[in-house]
A and B are shown apart, each in its own frame.
Chain A
Amino acid sequence: MKYDILIAGVGGQGVVLASRMLALAAMKAGFRVSTAETIGMSQREGSVSSHIRIGDEISGSLIPAGQADLLIGLEPAETVRNLPFLKKGGKILSNSHAIAPASKPPGSPEYAPEALLAFLKALIPDMLCLDFTRLAEEAGTYRAANVAMLGAAAGAGMLPFSKETILSVLETEIPEKHRAVNRAAFEGAIEKIKPGTLIGNRR
């Protein structure tokens, strides 16, 4: 068994925390696991990504290009930036909520999130896309968008373990004062992606 997940976003969105949750859930489900993340300069509003490799035969912690089974993008441009990691037939879960770059250095292309989302939808039929930031905000804080996306991934059956497994990890890993909000975001997302709900290209 091998399941490679790549999480991408912007520094401050909780990419590293989300990858830790997935890794702990994978361990709880009895798998071997390895993660690699960007730490350091990129934390400050830069692009951040985390590789999570789950399975019995793990080599290095970096997912080779074209081998990720699932790409979780906390931000549209970062989802697109990391597309080359996704394998043919791989799945995508993307936040539609855009974060514009803090500064626009000369020569940097204009950020057009709508166009990027359209590009994604045209290319990857098996994609879930939603404004998870707003969803998290409704649950209590926009900061829980990462956890909302874990909920969506678990609820849509995109993970190699159950939503109960990851929920139990959240219970132990998230400090008590933030726990209720995160649980609400997690469960709110599962509710939203119930069959029959229109999300992205899925009907």
Chain B
Amino acid sequence: MTEKKLLMGNEAIALGAIEAGVQVVTGYPGTPSTEALETVVRYADRCGIYTEWSSNEKVALETAVGAAYSGAKALVTMKQVGLNVASDPLMSLSYIGVKGALVLLVADDPGPHSSQTEQDTRVFGHFANIPVLDPANPQEAYELTKLAFELSHEFEVPVILRTTTRVSHSCEDVELAVAEPAPVEASCEGFVKDRRWTIFPRLTTERHPWLENVQVQLSERFSELPYNSVSGSGKIGIIASGVSALYVKEAVKGFEGLFTLFRVGTVHPFPEQAALSFLKGVEKLIVVEELDPYLEEQALQLIGKAHLPVDVYGKKNGFFPVGGEYNVDIVIDGINKVLSKLGEPSRLSHASPAVLREELPPLPVRAPTLCAGCMHRTVFYAFKQAAKQLKKDSQVETIFSGDIGCYTLGNAFPLNMVETCLCMGAGMSIAGGLSRTNSEVKQVAFIGDSTFFHSGIPAVINAVYNGADVTLAVLDNRTTAMTGHQPHPGIGVTVLGNPSKAIDIAGVIRSCGIGSVRTVETVNLEGCIEAAKEAMEFKGPSAIVFKGNCVGITKSGIKLTIDTESCTGCGFCIKQLGCPAIFLPPGEEKPFILDSCNGCGLCAQICPSESISEDGVKK
């Protein structure tokens, strides 16, 4: 019996995978992909699925690969930048192939809303010779997940299910084939020894023709699938995939006679036959797609190959923006530009807003910031003080490098403490590079606990081996905070909440050979400043592990108050910390502390007039 449920795209993918019989699910948290694995976890015990948060995406993929080599069905989840980390095993895997089934959920982030890049996984699939399915909404995400497992099993290749933020993080009434996930019927025959699992040049040479042949077979299969569909009857063709296809549908409403829409759900290998019969019916082609001009290039190639008299309008000739997230209005503007170029009298019309953006009064900037009571604020502040002291005492400047996590927000006003941020785990190695070219400057690198395990450790080893004069500050708030508090190898708990061995970060750093390693609790600002100074004065690589609790999961129960009698209204607490719980009402002189205070006590420790104190237990 089918059932309708309100599901986020990621939840729909998880349910699709369970229905497809997934037995092993691995991943590393990354917005907007995270909820897929988290949803599987909810059913893991009941359905008999092994689930883990791996230490990084490469490890997650390799773990899933092992399971798939054994004939199991496996899913691995990550975001687009995570695919870069996993790309080394992936490129080899496409030659080797799998047994069982292996599906990679890779969530792209046009915009980007919470990512370092706007890279396009469709292109990655093309590059790696791996089929890519591109759902438009949660319903399709659910269905295409099941299809991905089928294709992977049948063709013995890994399959990428590529989503974007508006698919992964949209909620929709999804029609499910089964109301409740049932236990997975384990059909794993186990690993069978065979030379096909060991990549050698000779094997690569043998497998390459097979790999190319699979592309042709898949393209033919895709051409017959309903996920590549044609609608409308106009002489102007539009090709689109993913959520862009829905924007097109909405944009051309009422003009269906003018356009013919080709929606591509299986984007790679490009469904040539289906595309060809669509292209033969149109005179002009508009390509609407977020991120890279992938469909545009496929269409141009096919038009050339088949000698078709079709003009193409897309990103390459400036009709559509090359970057950024699309929406209906952007699509309307692009299509109208083409209509105008073609001399068509029709124009698609925008909805008329009550108020235009230009008519709005000036609005305050509301940038994301570190939470009230966040331990990172104490560490940043401590290093700021230590660096000031260092400059005063010995005229030495400091450069602060960071990387990906909540603590990237340390770059925000008024802390301004992250001067480089490239990717996960890069802070320490970039600081190492900076130390070679800025010998008179002190280098400090910040890294989170989860990121330390993800890709920080090799950078520590490199610093020791090559003698980089860098101070590493590990911000250990006991969770993967930015993506929603997932556990990691330092916590001593698995994704299912089962106890496991906690890896001691300071112990790992020590074993890598760093001479000065200290552990400091962040409740003590003075201690943090002292530790920062000591580490920065140390010759050669040094490290401090700062321990505190993420306020997102551990509430202290303490609330601080400002004594209005003794407060001088100097504003030091506000100007120095940018804590969202300290509030100065407009026109007033003395700030007060809001209910959102988490009682870290940092403001009390820096208040020049000692006017901030504990108010007792919070409600």
Tell me whether A60 and B367 are in contact in the complex, defined as CB-CB below 8 angstroms, given that A41-B113, A84-B356, A88-B352 are known contacts.
no
Name the one of B169, B172, B360 contacting A81, with C-beta atoms under 8 angstroms.
B360
Chain B residues contacting A67 (CB-CB under 8 Å) are: 351
A101 touches B355 (CB 8 A): no
Name the one of B246, B350, B596 contacting A60, with C-beta atoms under 8 angstroms.
B246
Query: Chain A's nearest CB lies how many Å from the CB of B221?
Result: 28
Chain B residues contacting A65 (CB-CB under 8 Å) are: 329, 350-351, 353, 357
Interface window among B140-148, B231-239, B381-389, B409-417: B409-417
A64 touches B327 (CB 8 A): yes
Tell me whether A66 and B170 are in contact in the complex, defined as CB-CB below 8 angstroms, given that A11-B368, A46-B366, A60-B250 are known contacts.
no
**With the chains together, A101 CA to B366 CA distance in Å?**
5
A106 touches B413 (CB 8 A): yes
**With the chains together, A87 CA to B4 CA distance in Å?**
30
Chain A residues contacting B360 (CB-CB under 8 Å) are: 80-81, 83-84
Main SS of the interface on chain B? loop
Chain B residues contacting A42 (CB-CB under 8 Å) are: 113, 368
A34 touches B171 (CB 8 A): yes
Chain A residues contacting B350 (CB-CB under 8 Å) are: 64-66
Name the one of A20, A32, A84, A110 contacting B364, with C-beta atoms under 8 angstroms.
A110
Chain A residues contacting B241 (CB-CB under 8 Å) are: none
B364 touches A109 (CB 8 A): yes
Chain A: CB-nearest residue to B596:
A12
Interface window among A111-119, A154-162, A180-188: A111-119
**With the chains together, A123 CA to B354 CA distance in Å?**
9
Query: CB within 8 Å of A: which of B346-381?
Result: 350-357, 360-371
**With the chains together, A64 CA to B173 CA distance in Å?**
20
Chain A residues contacting B412 (CB-CB under 8 Å) are: 103, 105
B171 touches A83 (CB 8 A): no
Q: Tell whether B31 is near chain A: CB-to-CB under 8 Å.
A: yes
Query: Chain B's nearest CB lies how many Å from the CB of A203?
Result: 21
Tell me whether A47 and B366 are in contact in the complex, defined as CB-CB below 8 angstroms, given that A23-B171, A59-B246 are known contacts.
yes
Interface window among B60-68, B431-439, B578-586: B578-586
Q: How many A residues touch B, CB cutoff 8 Å? A: 64
Name the one of B173, B354, B366, B406 contacting A83, with C-beta atoms under 8 angstroms.
B354
Tell me whether A34 and B172 are in contact in the complex, defined as CB-CB below 8 angstroms, given that A40-B31, A77-B363 are known contacts.
yes
Interface residues on B, range: 35 or more
Chain B: CB-nearest residue to A111:
B364
A44 touches B369 (CB 8 A): yes
Q: Tell whether A104 is near chain B: CB-to-CB under 8 Å.
A: yes
Chain A: CB-nearest residue to B109:
A40
Query: CB within 8 Å of A: which of B391-407?
Result: 406
Chain A residues contacting B406 (CB-CB under 8 Å) are: 44
Q: Which of A33, A66, A124 has the most CB of B within 10 A?
A: A66
Chain B residues contacting A15 (CB-CB under 8 Å) are: none
**With the chains together, A83 CA to B611 CA distance in Å?**
42
**With the chains together, A40 CA to B29 CA distance in Å?**
12
A105 touches B366 (CB 8 A): no
**With the chains together, A66 CA to B352 CA distance in Å?**
5
Query: Chain A's nearest CB lies how many Å from the CB of B289?
Result: 14
Query: Chain A's nearest CB lies how many Å from the CB of B223?
Result: 25
Q: Tell whether B186 is near chain A: CB-to-CB under 8 Å.
A: no
Q: Tell whether A10 is near chain B: CB-to-CB under 8 Å.
A: yes
B353 touches A87 (CB 8 A): yes
Tell me whether A36 and B169 are in contact in the complex, defined as CB-CB below 8 angstroms, given that A66-B353, A67-B351, A119-B361 are known contacts.
yes
Q: Which of A41, A46, A105, A124 has the most CB of B within 10 A?
A: A41
Chain B residues contacting A85 (CB-CB under 8 Å) are: 353
Q: Tell whether A139 is near chain B: CB-to-CB under 8 Å.
A: no
Chain B: CB-nearest residue to A46:
B368
Q: Tell whether B216 is near chain A: CB-to-CB under 8 Å.
A: no
**With the chains together, A41 CA to B482 CA distance in Å?**
7
Measured CB to CB, the residues of A under 8 A from B are 10-12, 19-20, 23-24, 27, 32-47, 58-62, 64-67, 77-78, 80-81, 83-90, 100-112, 115-116, 119, 123-124, 142
13 contacts between A and B (CB under 8 A): A19-B171, A20-B171, A32-B173, A33-B173, A59-B247, A60-B247, A62-B247, A65-B351, A83-B353, A86-B355, A88-B354, A103-B412, A116-B361
Q: 9 new A-B pairs (CB below 8 Å) besides A23-B171, A81-B363, A83-B355?
A: A37-B169, A37-B171, A41-B368, A45-B368, A46-B368, A61-B137, A64-B350, A65-B329, A112-B586
